[in-house]
Structure 1
Amino acid sequence: MSARQDIRKDTPSVGAPLLDNLQVCRAFAAITVVTGHALHDAGVVAARRGIEFPGSGIDWTFGVDVFFVISGFIMVYVSGKDFAKRGSAWTFLRRRLIRIVPLYWALTTIMLIVGLLLPQLLAIPVGSFQYVASSYLFIPEWRVGAPVPEIRPLLALGWTLNYEMLFYVALAGVMFLPVRRAIAVLTLLFAAAVTARFTLDIQQTQLMFWSDPIILEFLMGCYLALARQAGWRLPTPAALVLAAAGIAGLLANSGGAAELRPLMVGLPALLLVAAAALGPTLPKLAPTRFAILLGDASYALYLSHPLVIRTLREVWLKFADPAWPLWLYALLCVAAASLAAIPIYLLFERPVTRLLQGKAQGKSEAPKDFGAGSGQAATASAGR
Structure 2
Amino acid sequence: MKTLYGIQYLRAFAALAVVVFHAAEKVGEHFAIGAAGVDVFFVISGFIMWVISDRRPMSPQQFLFDRVRRIAPSYWLVTAVMIVGAVVGLFPNLKLTASHIIASLFFVPMRSPSNGEIWPVLVQGWTLNFEIFFYVLFAGALFLPRNWRLGFLSLAFGGFFAFGLIFQPTSPALHTYTRPIILEFLGGVFLAELWLRRWIAGTSLGLACVGASLSGFAAIFLIGADFDEAICGPLAMALVYGMVSLEADGSIGRVPLLTYLGDASYSIYLWHTLAISVIVKIAGFAGLSSAPTVVASVIGGTILGTAAYEFVEKPFRKMFSRTGSKQGALARRPS
Residue 25 of structure 2 contacts residue 31 of structure 2 at CA under 8 Å; is this kept in 1? no
- Matches of 1:330 and 1:253 in 2, distance apart? 21
Residue 206 of structure 2 contacts residue 246 of structure 2 at CA under 8 Å; is this kept in 1? yes
Corresponding residue for residue 226 of structure 1: 193
Q: Normalising by structure 1, what TM-score? A: 0.80
Corresponding residue for residue 382 of structure 1: none
Tell me, yes or no, if structure 1 residue 140 matches structure 2 residue 103.
Answer: no
Corresponding residue for residue 83 of structure 2: 112
- Matches of 2:331 and 2:243 in 1, distance apart? 32
Corresponding residue for residue 326 of structure 2: 362
Corresponding residue for residue 30 of structure 1: 15
Q: How does 1:283-298 map to 2 (within 5 A)?
A: 283-284=253-254, 288-298=255-265
- Matches of 1:298 and 1:289 in 2, distance apart? 14
Match of 1:124 among 94, 98, 107: 94
Match of 1:275 among 224, 229, 242: 242
Corresponding residue for residue 91 of structure 1: 62
- Matches of 2:40 and 2:226 in 1, distance apart? 17
Corresponding residue for residue 316 of structure 1: 283
Shift of 1:341: 1.5
- Matches of 1:245 and 1:277 in 2, distance apart? 15
- Worse overlay, 63-72 or 357-366: 357-366
**Alpha carbons of structure 1 residues 207 and 168: separation in structure 2 relative to 1, 3 Å:** same
Corresponding residue for residue 166 of structure 1: 133
**Alpha carbons of structure 1 residues 193 and 330: separation in structure 2 relative to 1, 3 Å:** same
Count residues with an aligned counterpart: 327
Instruction: Give, as a single letter, the amino acid of the residue that structure 2 aligns with 1:291.
Output: L
Residue 24 of structure 2 contacts residue 31 of structure 2 at CA under 8 Å; is this kept in 1? no
With CA pairs under 8 Å and 6+ residues apart, which has the higher RCO, 1 or 2? 1
- Worse overlay, 331-340 or 249-258: 249-258
Shift of 1:304: 0.5
**Alpha carbons of structure 1 residues 344 and 145: separation in structure 2 relative to 1, 3 Å:** closer
Residue 276 of structure 2 contacts residue 297 of structure 2 at CA under 8 Å; is this kept in 1? yes
Instruction: Give, as a single letter, the amino acid of the residue that structure 1 aligns with 2:113.
Output: V
Shift of 1:56: 4.5
- Matches of 2:35 and 2:26 in 1, distance apart? 14
Instruction: Give secondary structure in 2 for the equivalent of 1:29.
Output: helix
- Matches of 2:331 and 2:87 in 1, distance apart? 46
Q: Gaps (5+ residues) in structure 2?
A: none
Shift of 1:351: 1.9
Corresponding residue for residue 3 of structure 1: none
Residue 51 of structure 2 contacts residue 192 of structure 2 at CA under 8 Å; is this kept in 1? yes
- Matches of 2:147 and 2:106 in 1, distance apart? 30
Shift of 1:211: 1.0
% identical equivalent positions: 30
CA distances 1:48-70 after superposition (whole Å, capped 9, x unpaired) = xxxxxxx3464321000000000
**Alpha carbons of structure 1 residues 171 and 256: separation in structure 2 relative to 1, 3 Å:** farther
Instruction: Give, as a single letter, the amino acid of the residue that structure 1 aligns with 2:94.
Output: I
Shift of 1:179: 3.1
Corresponding residue for residue 302 of structure 1: 269
CA distances 1:261-317 after superposition (whole Å, capped 9, x unpaired) = 2x3110000011112222225234xxx321111111100101101100001112212
Instruction: Give secondary structure in 2 for the equivalent of 1:108.
Output: helix
Match of 2:155 among 182, 188, 191: 188
CA distances 1:311-359 after superposition (whole Å, capped 9, x unpaired) = 111221223xx3x542121111111211222121112101211210221
Residue 308 of structure 1 contacts residue 336 of structure 1 at CA under 8 Å; is this kept in 2? yes
- Worse overlay, 107-116 or 335-344: 335-344
Corresponding residue for residue 34 of structure 2: 60
- Worse overlay, 133-142 or 183-192: 183-192
Tell me, yes or no, if structure 1 residue 331 matches structure 2 residue 295.
Answer: yes
Instruction: Give, as a single letter, the amino acid of the residue that structure 2 aligns with 1:164.
Output: E
Tell me, yes or no, if structure 1 residue 342 matches structure 2 residue 323.
Answer: no
Corresponding residue for residue 48 of structure 2: 74
Residue 58 of structure 1 contacts residue 251 of structure 1 at CA under 8 Å; is this kept in 2? no
- Matches of 2:148 and 2:299 in 1, distance apart? 44
Shift of 1:180: 3.8
- Matches of 1:367 and 1:239 in 2, distance apart? 45
- Worse overlay, 295-304 or 347-356: 347-356
Residue 21 of structure 2 contacts residue 31 of structure 2 at CA under 8 Å; is this kept in 1? no
Q: Normalising by structure 2, what TM-score? A: 0.91
- Matches of 1:237 and 1:332 in 2, distance apart? 38
Shift of 1:234: 3.2
Shift of 1:81: 4.4
Instruction: Give secondary structure in 1 for the equivalent of 2:169.
Output: coil
Shift of 1:367: 8.9
Instruction: Give, as a single letter, the amino acid of the residue that structure 1 aligns with 2:10.
Output: C
Match of 1:41 among 3, 13, 26: 26
Residue 250 of structure 1 contacts residue 269 of structure 1 at CA under 8 Å; is this kept in 2? no
Shift of 1:197: 1.3
Between Structure 1 and Structure 2, the one with more helix by share is 2
- Matches of 1:367 and 1:91 in 2, distance apart? 13
Instruction: Give, as a single letter, the amino acid of the residue that structure 2 aligns with 1:318.
Output: F
